[in-house]
Amino acid sequence: MPRVLGRALAAEVVGTFALVSAGCGAIMVDAKTVAVGHVGVAISFGLVIMVMVMVIYVFGHRLLRDEPVAAPVPEPAQPAGGLV
């Protein structure tokens, strides 16, 4: 199996795990406590997707081109854009 395919499959597994664990965890908390609500569950899914997009933006181009991953220096606008 090529390294790029292995990395892509690993990224798929990590992304699916994060989305299922955070999203379904929020649904379970809402079912037990009725404190989160539909908006809280939607925010939970949205935050997971936002974090995954930021990770792909910072690391993705290096991982898919089979280059060594060095510690990237994000621009100051990247965290600010994630907060908006």
Kindly report, residue by residue over 3-59, the tens digit of the pLDDT: 677 877 887 888 889 888 988 888 898 889 888 888 988 998 888 888 888 877 777
Instruction: Kindly give, in sequence order, each residue whose CB lies less than 8 Å from that of residue 49, ignoring residues fewer than 6 positions away.
Output: 19
Query: How far is it, in rounded angstroms, from Cα 23 to Cα 30?
Result: 11
Query: How far is it, in rounded angstroms, from Cα 38 to Cα 52?
Result: 22
Amino acid making up residue 79 = P
pLDDT at 66: 59
Dump pLDDT digits (tens) for 55-81. Answer: 777 776 665 565 555 555 556 666 666
Whole-model pTM: value is 0.61
